Amino acid sequence: MLNIEIKKWKIPLLNEKNFVTTKKINIDFWLEAIIQLNYSDKNFLSLIENIIIDILLWNSWSEVYSNFSLSLEKINKEIKKLSSDYNLSNLNVFVWIIEKETLHFSILGNYSIYLIKNNKIINIADWMQWKNLEFSYISSWNIWQFDNVYISNIEILNYITKDDILEISLIDDSEKKLELIEKIISQEDITEQYDMIVLNCKKDIIAFQKNSFETIKNQFLNIKDKLWENKQVQIAIEKIKSRIDLNNKYVKITFFSVWVLVSISLLYLIISQILIQNVKSSIPAEYKNKLIEAQMIIEKTTKDLWNKEVFTNNIKKAEELIFQVREQNIFLNDVKKLLDHISSLKKQLNWIESFALTKDKSQVEFDSSFSVNWIFELNKKYYFVWKNSIIWPYIKWEQIKKYDYPDWEEAISADLSPDWYIYILTKTYRILMFNKQEYKYINVEWQKTWENAKSIKTFNSNLYLLSDEWNQILRHKPGVNGFSSKFWIIDDNDTKNLKIYDFAIDGWFYMLKNDLTIDKIITAPTYFKRSIVINWLPKNYTNDGVNEPKIFTGLNLNYIYVLLNNSIWIFEADSKNYKDVKAIKYIGQLEPVESKINTIYIPKDWTILVWNNKWVYTINFEISDWKVVVR
């Protein structure tokens, strides 16, 4: 174990603004903890101290590092709760777990912690000063003979020179060290309370290390004595002596050579074990330094968000270091924190705005048996369409009315027309129209059946179907006894190697293709296809393949929306006139926190209805400084 000395200095102040407390706790016979706190409120200090002690004592310590990490997470949660009632901006907390000669520590706020090793001063708390109100990563150090550690809530080197610290560290008695430190600091103009902690190896541990070889030697001697006392061994030795002339110089040389070889082998084994132990103890330090280097890169990179190339290169370097540590299956809590920090920075870089699907945003709740596939809203009345039925009209606080499809039909696509008709494309490639609580099959003229299709859209009373080959949009105009036969929107020459994920209509046709590029089809006065330029795209504009992307726009919408990889991407066209759009620019993403988007509906700009398996939510946003902001 380590020798721990704590010195508390109480400076008489008229108006005390900084209270300090330090406690040493015996968690187990082989495990100790030190906690130090300083804060402006003495009562709160006692409260948080008791909370930390309770968490440390009640935790299981079968695996020290993992259990310490778990304890810090619990402490973080408790501090977060207290922050709603207290201003904790000046709270500082230090927690250190001592496992034999190994120190595991973490800090919240600011502390000075110096390790004196090989006549060098190492600031082992460097880059651990976090502005956030939570503990940062865990740092681990082995303390060997002649090493000293100094910990305080004040910056030690502001009051004691480096030469003085190195000279004081040569003294064996820790109490004398603290007396000299107190004497030096008392000569300075200090106006705040402070505690000082000194740690070093215990003498009994050092003595044990010095006598370890003596113990091994004694064990060998005991084995020799026991063998010599054995009569069979004595008889065997006498026989060997009678047959070997020990006075023969060649025999002597042989015995000496064997003795040398055995001695070298034993020495090799001893040195190997020492080197292996040193290598093992240096591995955590090596990978801890990688995490510190990654943290330094990340901190520096926060200033380079405006420069995407520099940011990307730096983050790549930091991730490579972090992944090297993760592969060793160590410091996993610290790895997670740093990767979460990187994820947050990437979101800032890519203008990703997160939103929580909380109850205050919820509009409708359904039981688990109902799964919404499409949402529509007209005159503040909701239509919820799923594969076997429609709920219409949904009015809050009124009884739900559900209408099942006839003939056990199942919907594969649906759309709402401006005249309040819902058109449903079924699994049997028939089209149902729902109006005034009734269903009606829609006929198609000059065709025996409707063509096989993947989705249906309506615009200006026309029906538009995406072909089952994903490369053609088919138009059907209203006719005398239903709808007219199909008319091909896309020229045959443009259908080659074409795959359309989805399409949307604002007067002309936006096509979202399988490579996530967007084309626009203009049909009058003459047909032509225009490739839309997408500006300012982030690198995460890729399809993860889990769900097919969807595109949304309309005559009443100023923006183009794409549902991709559980995020809502928002783009702005370069012209308000749908006929003149040649390019769109990316302005941001909306991403739910720990939730899945099943479908969305956009009744108007800045308002999105979101369905996530149980609730329908309303998400409102605005564009501020060219970025998307959730209201």
Give me the CATH number covering residue 418: 2.130.10.10
pLDDT at 529: 95
Query: Which range among 204-213, 248-257, 422-431 has the greatest average pLDDT?
Result: 422-431
pLDDT band at 591 (very low <50, low <70, confident <90, very high): very high
At 479 the three-state DSSP class reads: coil
Per-residue pLDDT, averaged over 363-386, amounts to 81
Per-residue pLDDT, averaged over 561-570, amounts to 96
* pLDDT top residue among 283 and 352: 352
Q: Is the pLDDT of residue 332 over 50?
A: yes
Closest-CA residue to 386 (of 406, 362, 364, 402):
402
Task: Clarify whether residues 466 and 550 are in a common domain.
Answer: no
Task: Clarify whether residues 6 and 108 are in a common domain.
Answer: yes
DSSP for 26-48, please give it: EEETTEEEEEEEEES-HHHHHHH
Per-residue pLDDT, averaged over 4-9, amounts to 74
CA–CA distance, 497 with 34 (Å, rounded to integer): 68
pLDDT band at 597 (very low <50, low <70, confident <90, very high): very high
Residue 234 located in a structural domain: no
CA–CA distance, 113 with 151 (Å, rounded to integer): 5
Q: Is the pLDDT of residue 424 over 90?
A: yes
Task: Clarify whether residues 363 and 376 are in a common domain.
Answer: no
Task: Clarify whether residues 542 and 558 are in a common domain.
Answer: yes
DSSP for 332-367, please give it: HHHHHHHHHHHHHHHHHHTTEEEE---GGGEEEE--
Query: Which range among 253-257, 355-359, 383-387 has the greatest average pLDDT?
Result: 383-387
pLDDT at 263: 75
Residue 596 located in a structural domain: yes
Per-residue pLDDT, averaged over 429-458, amounts to 94
**Mean pLDDT, all residues of the chain:** 83
Task: Clarify whether residues 503 and 470 are in a common domain.
Answer: no
- Number of domains into which the chain is organized: 4
Half-sphere exposure (CA, 13 Å, Cβ side) for 98?
20
Residue 319 located in a structural domain: yes
* pLDDT top residue among 214 and 483: 483
Residues 72, 75, 76, CA angle at the centre, nearest 5°? 85
Q: Count CB-CB contacts under 10 A for residue 358.
A: 10
Query: Which range among 138-147, 221-230, 340-349, 525-534 has the greatest average pLDDT?
Result: 525-534
Per-residue pLDDT, averaged over 396-410, amounts to 87
* Contact present, 100 and 140 (Cβ < 8 Å): no
At 476 the three-state DSSP class reads: strand
Task: Clarify whether residues 192 and 90 are in a common domain.
Answer: yes
pLDDT band at 367 (very low <50, low <70, confident <90, very high): low
pLDDT band at 358 (very low <50, low <70, confident <90, very high): confident
9: left (phi over 0), alpha (psi -120 to 50) or beta: beta
pLDDT at 522: 94
Task: Clarify whether residues 302 and 437 are in a common domain.
Answer: no
pLDDT at 528: 93
Per-residue pLDDT, averaged over 374-388, amounts to 87
Of 489, 522, 544, the domain-final residue: 489
Q: What letter does residue 408 receive in the DSSP assignment?
A: G
Per-residue pLDDT, averaged over 101-130, amounts to 83
Residue 509 located in a structural domain: yes
CA–CA distance, 394 with 409 (Å, rounded to integer): 22
Q: Is the pLDDT of residue 276 over 60?
A: no
Residue 361 located in a structural domain: yes
* pLDDT top residue among 335 and 384: 384
CA–CA distance, 596 with 31 (Å, rounded to integer): 44
Half-sphere exposure (CA, 13 Å, Cβ side) for 30?
8
pLDDT at 361: 79
Task: Clarify whether residues 508 and 625 are in a common domain.
Answer: yes
pLDDT band at 125 (very low <50, low <70, confident <90, very high): confident
pLDDT band at 414 (very low <50, low <70, confident <90, very high): very high
CA–CA distance, 331 with 433 (Å, rounded to integer): 60
Per-residue pLDDT, averaged over 22-33, amounts to 82
pLDDT band at 250 (very low <50, low <70, confident <90, very high): low
pLDDT band at 471 (very low <50, low <70, confident <90, very high): very high
Residue 213 located in a structural domain: no
Per-residue pLDDT, averaged over 499-507, amounts to 96
Task: Clarify whether residues 361 and 388 are in a common domain.
Answer: no
pLDDT at 434: 95
Residue 458 located in a structural domain: yes
Task: Clarify whether residues 13 and 123 are in a common domain.
Answer: yes
- 356: containing domain: 350-368+499-631
Closest-CA residue to 472 (of 446, 458, 442, 451):
451
Task: Clarify whether residues 444 and 308 are in a common domain.
Answer: no
pLDDT at 212: 47
Q: What letter does residue 407 receive in the DSSP assignment?
A: G
Q: Is the pLDDT of residue 12 over 60?
A: no
* Contact present, 573 and 584 (Cβ < 8 Å): yes
pLDDT band at 563 (very low <50, low <70, confident <90, very high): very high
Residue 219 located in a structural domain: no
Task: Clarify whether residues 545 and 396 are in a common domain.
Answer: no
pLDDT at 207: 42
Of 489, 508, 540, the domain-final residue: 489
- What is the SS3 assignment for 542-567? CCCCCCCCEEECCCCCCEEEEEECCE
pLDDT at 206: 41
Per-residue pLDDT, averaged over 339-356, amounts to 86
Query: How many secondary structure helices (H) and strands (E) does the chain include?
Result: 10, 36
Per-residue pLDDT, averaged over 142-164, amounts to 87
Strand partners, 197: 6, 151
pLDDT band at 210 (very low <50, low <70, confident <90, very high): very low
pLDDT at 252: 67
Quick one: how far is CA 281 from the chain centroid? 28
Among the ranges given (267-281, 305-319, 455-469), the one the predictor scored with the smallest mean pLDDT: 267-281
